Structure 1
Amino acid sequence: MLVSTIVLYFYVRNLLQGEIEEELRSTEARIETSINENGPMYQLPPVVEIEKVALLGTERLKDTLIFDPSQDELEEFRELTTYSDIKGKKYRITVRTLIVESEDILVAVVVSYLVIILLVFSFLFYFNKAWNQKLWHPFFENLEQMKRFSLTSDKPILFMDSEILEFSELNYEITALTDKVRSDYKNLKQYTEDVSHEMQTPLAIIQAKIDNIINGDHLNDAQFEHLTSIQKDIQRLTQINKRLTLLTKIENQQFSNIEKVDITHCVGSTIQNFNEISDKEIKYERDDVIWAEMDRYLAEVLCNNLLSNAIKYTTGNADIRVIASDKTLSIANHGIRALQHPENLYTRFYRESETIKSTGLGLAIVKRICDLYDFEVDYKYEKGMHTFSITFK
């Protein structure tokens, strides 16, 4: 566009200059004809001037500036001066005409091109926008369908047909992929549930048999200690099985029964239950009632795991402090030193110390529950106290 603007400018200027020279010669020819026919020598200075001269000169064609009283400024004229011998008399004929200034030509060309560019751009913009919207509409509709895809739902993905071959192939491959993923998920889920269910019965039977042996009369001290150790391992295995199953269900978002739960009441009930089986004193300060939109069973699990963790890891006979205030639940227990690797607190099977036997899954479950409902969980160690805080949004 830039190069064509320059070319057009010079082309239009030369074209106008040629037309002006043609007009000047045409006027000069009419004047000679009029003089030859004994017509009046019409003059209109500075446009037309006719003078008798003694000698003939050479023709001149040039540009000149002449004052224009109507515009009160100098204007550029094209001037043609010729000499003619008519009926034995010599004449100098000068004709002038106003020409279009180069600046005016340039402005006209630039403005014209700007208008054309604007029109072309507007047309192409709206045309391409409309065309692209039509072209990409099936893609974005199918993208929304993919965003709503859920492994737990049996509802198939209904893709919009498209005339674009690539989109059609993409729809086919995504449909095959989602069907395969959903099938694999169902098989894995069924396998997990079957294993968890089938393990419960043998473990319960083993536990019952060991109880019967322990309660018998023919055990020595060594046998009693071995059986007691086996019994604890079986109980721990049962806990691990239950908690891993719970974690799997949480991560698969199988808890869809959302209701308004009074967290402060849930904490109070949990504390009452622990007071019956634990010698640790739990001090509960409730400044506000905390409500949360979540599954009630998971709320109980959340409170139980936090309090169980505090009771398990508190040192000495120090009190456990539970504070409910301003949508935040804080549970603090006494500790000799800060954790060496607090970043691993919510990792499965992580234990800071092997002296306390635990599954290592309690805080991992707490973290998954908070992530599920977008709660904020925080840990800090200050003034000899381990404090876990959960902010319920």
Structure 2
Amino acid sequence: MEYEIEEELYSNKARIERILAKEGQFIDFESILQVKKVENKEAEAIQDTLIYDPSQDEIELFRQLSGTKEINGTIYKITVRSMIIESEDILSAIVLTFISIIFLAFIFLFYLNRSHNEKLWQPFFLNLGKLKNFSLRSDNPLELEDSEILEFHELNREVKILTSKIQTDYRNLKQFTEDVSHEMQTPLAIMQAKIDTVINDVEINETQFQQFSSLQSDISRLKQLNKKLILLAKIENDQFTTKEAISINNIVEDTIKNFKELTSIDIQLIANNTINVRMDLSLATVLCNNLLSNAVKHNLNNNSIHLKIFDTKLQVINSGDKALDQPNQIFQRFYKESRRKESTGLGLSIVKKICDYYSFAPSYCFETITQSELIKGRHIFQIDFYS
């Protein structure tokens, strides 16, 4: 700014010198331009000065350039001034106006862009909400809001095709599991009944009796295997949607009562707390049955089995002679370290699947006991219902 004022002053001084050289005289303009004759030459000087301005009736700050020039044998002192305050005011006004325009333009563009984006993305968020509420169990197809945006339109089309196929696959799989469960159980039951008839009504020797008994055991095991696989499929297909308030204590007590009718093993319950959860009643029963059944099958020397309920946890404890070789695989499907024929390798995997379904935390550990000669250690299966 100062450079521009000085450049203007030098330019005005040069114009006055040309006028004096041509005309020989120059009229003063009050505080802006002054020309007077002097005897001696003076060097050029530029400085700020305060001068009374009659037009403004106040003292103003000027930038002043003064110097002498000999023209046609006469020495003139030429003084030119430019008001600084006015220039700064103009500059401030320009800057303020420019900033205001930019600010208003920014506000306008912000709300314009926001309104445009809301209109542009509205179908997308509506469809996103419909996808969140979409259920495979519903027979109604997914209806999405159409959009003028080509990419959204294509996305909607592909999502409709995908969800329609998933619904169809889900219904087919559900129907398949139900058909398999029904169709396989009937012939297996008929086979077992026929074998019972042969054993009871026909005279057979000892070898034949053992073969028929083995066949009966295999059929019974196949029936159990089929039931457990169907149960796993139903859990994975999210077919257990009913939730009700369940007392784990009551389920455990009923389970213990049922097992005491089937085995002579002493089963004890130690309950220091009451655990209530919301889940399907049949799955809660399966969970407790499988845990206790596993403990009974693998219990050592018919020692007592203990069930403990404390805090938010259920523990099922049975005696054992050594820890499992691969405890990290105990909940995997078809994994078993025991060579018992009646074991399908699915009981604990069903326990794990139920726990995953309701966000329970299953775990296993082995405790070594050094104070007893009859019991070498304990297998502890634990379920934390509020992990």
- Superposition TM-score, scaled by structure 1 size: 0.80
Q: 1:113 to 1:357 in 2, by over 3 A?
A: farther
Asked whether the 8 Å contact 2:329–2:335 carries over to 1, the reply is yes
Deviations 1:100-153 (Å, cap 9, x if unpaired)? 799999999988777666555554444333322321221122122122222212
Partner of 1:276: 261
1:79 paired to 2:65:
yes
Letter in 2 for 1:65: Q
Partner of 2:371: none
Deviations 1:280-332 (Å, cap 9, x if unpaired)? 11110111221111111111111111110111111112211101122211111
Structure 1: runs of 5+ lacking an equivalent? 1-11
Distance 1:68 1:374 in 2: 85
Q: 1:123 to 1:20 in 2, by over 3 A?
A: farther
Asked whether the 8 Å contact 2:12–2:80 carries over to 1, the reply is no
Distance 2:141 2:296 in 1: 47
Partner of 2:245: 260
Distance 1:257 1:106 in 2: 76
Say which of 275, 300, 306 aligns to 1:290. Answer: 275
Q: How does 1:26-175 map to 2 (within 5 A)?
A: 36=25, 50-54=35-39, 64-66=46-48, 77-79=63-65, 81=67, 83=69, 90-99=75-84, 121-175=106-160
Which region of structure 1 is more displaced relative to structure 2, 181-190 or 230-239?
A: 181-190
Q: 1:212 to 1:166 in 2, by over 3 A?
A: same
Say which of 372, 377, 388 aligns to 2:381. Answer: 388
Letter in 1 for 2:277: A
Asked whether the 8 Å contact 1:64–1:78 carries over to 2, the reply is yes
What SS is found at the alignment partner of 1:205? helix
Partner of 2:342: 357
What SS is found at the alignment partner of 2:339? coil
Count of matched residue pairs: 370
Distance 2:34 2:261 in 1: 128
Q: Shift of the alpha carbon at 1:34?
A: 12
Asked whether the 8 Å contact 2:235–2:354 carries over to 1, the reply is yes
Q: 1:164 to 1:323 in 2, by over 3 A?
A: same
Structure 2: runs of 5+ lacking an equivalent? 53-60, 369-376
Q: 1:24 to 1:379 in 2, by over 3 A?
A: farther
Q: 1:202 to 1:329 in 2, by over 3 A?
A: same
Letter in 1 for 2:77: R
Letter in 2 for 1:185: Y
Q: How does 1:188-227 map to 2 (within 5 A)?
A: 188-227=173-212
Asked whether the 8 Å contact 1:28–1:95 carries over to 2, the reply is no
Which region of structure 1 is more displaced relative to structure 2, 143-152 or 272-281?
A: 143-152
Asked whether the 8 Å contact 1:310–1:331 carries over to 2, the reply is yes
Distance 1:173 1:36 in 2: 91
Asked whether the 8 Å contact 2:255–2:289 carries over to 1, the reply is yes
Partner of 1:314: 299
Distance 2:300 2:184 in 1: 35
Letter in 2 for 1:332: I
Q: 1:52 to 1:137 in 2, by over 3 A?
A: same
Distance 1:292 1:48 in 2: 98
1:239 paired to 2:224:
yes
What SS is found at the alignment partner of 1:150? coil
What SS is found at the alignment partner of 2:261? helix
- RMSD (Å) for aligned C-alpha atoms: 3.8
- State percent identity of aligned pairs: 45
Q: 1:239 to 1:19 in 2, by over 3 A?
A: same
Which region of structure 1 is more displaced relative to structure 2, 121-130 or 226-235?
A: 121-130
Which region of structure 1 is more displaced relative to structure 2, 129-138 or 115-124?
A: 115-124
Partner of 1:331: 316
Q: Shift of the alpha carbon at 1:276?
A: 0.8
Letter in 2 for 1:152: R
Partner of 1:186: 171
Distance 2:11 2:20 in 1: 14
Q: Shift of the alpha carbon at 1:343?
A: 2.0
Q: 1:115 to 1:210 in 2, by over 3 A?
A: same
Partner of 2:56: none
Letter in 1 for 2:175: Q
Letter in 1 for 2:197: N
